[in-house]
Amino acid sequence: MDNDMKQLIQNLQQSDGGHILYCFNELESYIENEATFIIAGVEQGDHILVVENDRIFPFVYKKLQLHLDDEQLEQVHLINNFDFYCFHGDFHPATMVHYFLENIDSYTKGNQHVRTWGHVEWGHDDQVSFAIGEYEKGIDKLIKERGLISVCAYDDCRVPVELKTNLIKHHGILITDEEITILANG
């Protein structure tokens, strides 16, 4: 999958960007793909906004350190995913889209390119599914307007069927641990 991920990122870099849905099952594959995405972006001169949890990112960072020097590592910007998605105490779509925009604008104002990787997690609140769908709809519009490359990652076993159907509507590419699929709306 490593080479497939690199090729996908190269293709998206030459196009108008892309909104990628990554539904993962295997944590090791997930970590490898996240590191590959970040390394490819940094090597092409982009800043990477990573929204990840504190349990996983240290494993990704170890892989980054094997391929990137200190100066390149400064292009990787981490935000804890709980802090990001619950910025105002709840999972509110409009607030999160605005917060996302604020974060990417801090890099794009300096004519720098930015890519994003967001690991979306939530508690046991079933009402969050609707909010996530609305958030992804807003992010999809923003990504298309700005020509960004953005991955939204979900633990597949935690995504109800209705939510996954909704997520697929708002992403142009679906990645699993094994394959990459261009979606009809992509």
More confident residue, 94 or 50: 50
Order of strands across the sheet with 180-182?
76-80, 47-52, 114-119, 149-155, 18-24, 173-175, 180-182
CATH of 2-182, one of 3.40.50.360, 1.10.760.10, 3.40.50.300, 1.10.3720.10: 3.40.50.300
Rounded CA separation 150/44 (Å) = 15
Rounded CA separation 7/5 (Å) = 5
The whole-number average pLDDT for the span 99-122 is: 82
Structure tokens at 82: 């709980």
Q: Is the pTM of this model over 0.85?
A: yes
Closest CA to 151 of 5, 7, 4, 29: 5
Under the banding of pLDDT at 50, 70 and 90, the label for residue 1 is low
Structure tokens at 96: 């999160």
Q: Is the model's pLDDT at 35 over the cut of 80? A: yes
Which neighbouring-strand residues pair with 47?
A: 114
For all residues of the chain together, what is the average pLDDT?
85
φ, ψ for residue 39, nearest 5 deg: -60, -45
Helix axes 93-108, 128-146, angle to 10 degrees: 30
More confident residue, 112 or 150: 150
Strand 18-24 to 173-175 pairing: parallel
Q: Is the model's pLDDT at 15 over the cut of 90? A: no
Rounded CA separation 157/11 (Å) = 29
**Domain extent listing, the chain:** 2-182
Rounded CA separation 66/90 (Å) = 37
The whole-number average pLDDT for the span 36-59 is: 94
Q: Is the model's pLDDT at 155 over the cut of 60? A: yes
